[in-house]
Amino acid sequence: MASESALDLCLVAEEAVSDEQDAMIRDCLVECFPDDRQIFRRTRNWHTEPIYRVLGLDGEGVVQGHIAVVEQTITVGGESLAVAGVQSVAVRLGYRGRRIADDLLKAAMAEAKRRDLDVGLLFCREELMKVYERCGWLWLGPRLTLMLDEHGSEVEIPEKNVVMYYPLGVVEFPTGDINLCGRDW
C-alpha cells in the first residue's frame, strides 16, 4: 500500500541515469502511457533525449513519479528562445490524487531556472490543463505551432494538444508563430 507521504524527489542528469533507474522509469511510463507501451518498453525517451529528469521515489526507492526536461532552441515570431521542454509527466496509479505532479513540475522548473533557460513549454490535452494551471503554467491560446514530424516534414502540432508555458528568465511569452525547430519532444 502506498503511504500518504509525498515521494522523495531525485534530480538526475540524463547521463547519470543508472540501468536500474532506466528500468524503473520505463515501468512507470508503460503504466502511465499504455497506448505507447511498445515505445517505453524499449526506451525511456519520447522524441528527444532530455537533459535531466526528476524522479519521485517511494520508501523502497521505486520510481512512482517522473518528469523529464528537454533543452531546445525554438523560434517565436522569428525570435530565438531557449526552452525547457517538459516530457512525460507521470504518476503511477497507486500515487495519483496527491498532487505529486505539482512537486515534480516545480522541481523541474527550479532546475530549468538554475540553468538559465528562458521558459518552460509543454503540450497537453485540454482536460489536463488544470493540473498545469494550478502550478503557474499559462495557456498560450490558439497559436500556429510548427514542428517536424518523423519524416522531417514541417507540420502543425497534433490538434488534440494545447501549448502551455512557464515563465523563467523570460516572463512575457513573445507574440507570433511558434516553430519548435525539431520534433515535439
32 versus 180: smaller Cβ distance to ligand COA: 32
Distance from the Cα of residue 130 to its chain's centroid: 15
Distance from the Cα of residue 145 to its chain's centroid: 17
∠18-105-99 over CA atoms, to 5°? Answer: 105
33 versus 139: smaller Cβ distance to ligand COA: 33
Distance from the Cα of residue 162 to its chain's centroid: 14
Q: Report the nearest approach of ligand COA to the CB of residue 110 (Å).
A: 17
Q: Where along the sequence are the contacts to ligand COA (CB under 6 A)? A: 32-33, 89-91, 96-101, 124, 127-128, 130-131
Which segments of 57-174 does DSSP mark as H helices, in order? 100-114, 129-133
Q: Report the nearest approach of ligand COA to the CB of residue 158 (Å).
A: 12
All three cell numbers of 120, joined, read 518552460
Helices and strands of the chain, counted as H and E runs: 4, 10
98 versus 174: smaller Cβ distance to ligand COA: 98
Q: Report the nearest approach of ligand COA to the CB of residue 57 (Å).
A: 15
Closest residue by beta carbon to ligand COA: 101
80 versus 134: smaller Cβ distance to ligand COA: 134
Map residue 89 onto helix, strand or coil.
strand
Q: Report the nearest approach of ligand COA to the CB of residue 64 (Å).
A: 10
Distance from the Cα of residue 147 to its chain's centroid: 16
What distance in Å separates the CA atoms of residue 20 and residue 165, rounded to the nearest whole number?
32
Q: Report the nearest approach of ligand COA to the CB of residue 124 (Å).
A: 4
75 versus 106: smaller Cβ distance to ligand COA: 106
What distance in Å separates the CA atoms of residue 74 and residue 92, rounded to the nearest whole number?
31
